[in-house]
Amino acid sequence: MKSKTDSLRGLALGTALLAALAAPTAAGQAQAIPNNTALPTLGDAARGDLSPIIERKLGEEIMRDIRRNNDYLNDEAVLEYLNNFGSGLVAAYPGARGETNNDFFFFAVRDPQLNAFALPGGFIAVHSALLLSAQSESELASVLGHEIGHVAQRHIARMIGQQKQDVLIPLAALVLAALAARSSSDAAMGVFMGGQGLAIQRQLNFSRDAEREADRVGFQIMGAGGYDTSGMVAFFQRMQVASRAYSDLVPAYLRSHPLTTERISDIQARIREVPYRQRIDNVEFYLVRGRVRVLQDESARGRSEAQAALEAQLQSQNRQHQAGAQYGLAFLALKRGELAKAQSWLDKARGTMRRSEGTFSTGQAASDGAAMFASLELEIKMAPGQSAAVREQGVKDAAAAHQRFPLSRGIAHQYAEALIDTGRLAEATTYLRDQSQSYRQEEKIHELLAKAYAAQGKLALQHISLAEYYALAGGKKSALDQLDIARKSADASFYDMALIDAREREWKEQVREEMKDAPKEKN
């Protein structure tokens, strides 16, 4: 029987292949963008077949299933780093959002293969093994820049516009595979492979063009973001070697497609045209890698292997590598419930970074990782098994950290959780309601609100908050079910009923629109 990792890997291979099969529009008009690069604009046919709205909805549908999978790394520190890093790349290059002005979301999945993939609508994933294999932020930027290129060029929509009949088959198969993956990895891969088999031979040549195009866009994004562009070749060469090791797992048509020597030579030629740029990595990169090392495999064997790898990393002469290993060992000790040891390793990591201050060469200053250190310390102080006195101090520290790092959404959530866990329910509710006004589209806020209301026995408000959470997560029908429960609650006020009615009308209309937009089955 295959593991859940195999199930998600099947989905990842499918989405990676779908992005790779994109066909550039030969007759597209050129649109002038910075860096003296002309990128093609989509033709009307592509827009008609897959509008930006439908493209985004398709991505959200697939993401809803990915989030339910245990191999989705739903870790706030990892998500925050990836989205800050990815958003920085997008912001640095004006053309990165493409003509549809995409909103991007970056996430990680547990998987031992070096890979990353883009979904329709701006959702970009990296495998845990890729994060651990990347030796610098420039190497990570080369991969994310490449995937941003796929999204910016709307390769999926262009594929449909170029070869309508052939591409609708694998696109439909992808959605079915995403749904089948929840219950059976064999079924998921069977559905996907069956659909691809009808179209792959006619699509393969275009996939190489799309990959080269994404390489060029990614290269420009790296340069605009201040990254060392030679990192693209270094990492692509490592992926090329790794793909040979995985040859028995990857379908033949995917093996024949990706990292060719021609693509690497093209990037090498581009590198020779730009001056070398040294870049000092932020320590968060190494801290996240330490965290992912622990999260990649949470079995007893996996944790033992993570400990061995982190202890070996301690021997590095690089202070950032050392701090990353110490942070990872602190996180591992926390996972094992060894709270005193976790705090000790965290203190060592902080000390390592303090000793490293002033040791870097001139140029960009490296960050000190203060927000990630503060976040892990809050996890330790609020962990089960801590004394009441330590947890009380944890609440105070959470409030101070929230003031010091107001842009950290992870710390904002930790502050709310600390208030709830120590019984400060009224304070937590007030804080979360205020947060919900500033961050209306943030699912976690409504999930925490529901938890706070449940602890107070406020059933109507609990289920209204759960309804908001499900709606934002893409589950409108589940949200409507929660509204029904809220309406029947004995403590529902007149204001609550008015809100329930308004939300019900709004979401039912959205469900009707989504059903109207859904593809019609043919008899």
Give me the residue spans of the domains in the chain: 4-271, 435-523
Distances (CA, A) of 137 to 50, 67, 114, 279: 34, 26, 16, 9
Q: Tell whether the model's pLDDT for residue 250 goes beyond 80.
A: no
Q: Express each pLDDT in 77-95 by its tens digit.
A: 999 999 999 999 999 988 7
Higher pLDDT, 200 or 497: 497
C-alpha span between 353 and 287 (Å, rounded): 11
Query: Chain-wide mean pLDDT for the chain?
Result: 79
Distances (CA, A) of 175 to 58, 64, 78, 164, 475: 8, 11, 27, 17, 16
C-alpha span between 430 and 449 (Å, rounded): 9
Q: Tell whether the model's pLDDT for residue 102 goes beyond 50.
A: yes
- CATH architecture assignment, domain 435-523: Alpha Horseshoe (1.25)
State the pTM of this model.
0.82
| pLDDT at residue number 352 | 94
Q: Per-residue confidence at 117, pLDDT binned at 50, 70, 90? A: confident
Q: Tell whether the model's pLDDT for residue 268 goes beyond 70.
A: yes
| pLDDT at residue number 514 | 73
Of 9-23, 284-298, 373-387, 502-516, the least confident = 9-23
Higher pLDDT, 120 or 314: 314
Q: Give the alpha-carbon dihedral of 516, 517, 522, 523, to 10 degrees.
A: -20
Q: Give the alpha-carbon dihedral of 136, 139, 141, 146, to 10 degrees.
A: -170
Of 7-21, 82-96, 104-118, the least confident = 7-21
The helix (run of H) or strand (run of E) holding residue 317 is none
Q: Express each pLDDT in 355-410 by its tens digit.
A: 876 554 444 445 789 999 999 999 999 999 999 999 999 999 999 999 999 999 99
Report the candidate in 304, 25, 299, 6 with the shortest Cα–Cα distance to residue 159: 25
Higher pLDDT, 250 or 217: 217
Q: Tell whether the model's pLDDT for residue 174 goes beyond 70.
A: no
**What percent of the chain has pLDDT above 90?**
50
The pairing of strands 37-40 and 123-127 is: unpaired
Decide: helix, strand or coil at residue 37: strand
Higher pLDDT, 209 or 141: 141
Q: Tell whether the model's pLDDT for residue 66 goes beyond 90.
A: no
Q: Tell whether the model's pLDDT for residue 497 goes beyond 50.
A: yes
| pLDDT at residue number 159 | 64
| Beta-sheet strands, E only, within 412-482 | none
Q: Tell whether the model's pLDDT for residue 289 goes beyond 50.
A: yes
Q: Tell whether the model's pLDDT for residue 191 goes beyond 50.
A: no
- The encoded tokens of residue 338 equal 């060894």
The pairing of strands 116-119 and 123-127 is: antiparallel
- The encoded tokens of residue 401 equal 């950290």
Higher pLDDT, 197 or 459: 459
User: Taking residues 102-114, what's their average pLDDT?
Assistant: 89
C-alpha span between 391 and 397 (Å, rounded): 10
| pLDDT at residue number 358 | 54
In degrees, rounded to 5, the angle at the alpha carbon of residue 171 between the alpha carbons of residues 177 and 119 is 80
User: Taking residues 405-430, what's their average pLDDT?
Assistant: 97
Report the candidate in 144, 86, 136, 147 with the shortest Cα–Cα distance to residue 278: 136
Decide: helix, strand or coil at residue 31: strand
Half-sphere exposure for 149 (CA within 13 Å, toward CB): 26
Residue 34 makes CB contacts below 8 A (sequence gap 6+) with: 93, 94, 95, 224
Q: Express each pLDDT in 142-155 by its tens digit.
A: 999 988 988 888 77
Per DSSP, the residues of 16-44 read: HHHHHT----TTPPEEEETTTEEEEPPPH
Of 163-177, 318-332, 470-484, the least confident = 163-177
Q: Express each pLDDT in 396-411 by its tens digit.
A: 999 999 999 999 999 9
Q: Per-residue confidence at 157, pLDDT binned at 50, 70, 90? A: low
Q: Per-residue confidence at 160, pLDDT binned at 50, 70, 90? A: low
Q: Residue 70 corresponds to which amino acid?
A: N
How crowded is residue 351: how many other Cβ atoms within 10 Å of its Cβ?
Answer: 12
| pLDDT at residue number 43 | 36
| pLDDT at residue number 27 | 30
Cα distance between the two ends of the chain: 35
Q: Per-residue confidence at 56, pLDDT binned at 50, 70, 90? A: confident
Residue 323 makes CB contacts below 8 A (sequence gap 6+) with: 283, 286, 287, 349, 352, 353, 356, 369
The helix (run of H) or strand (run of E) holding residue 104 is none
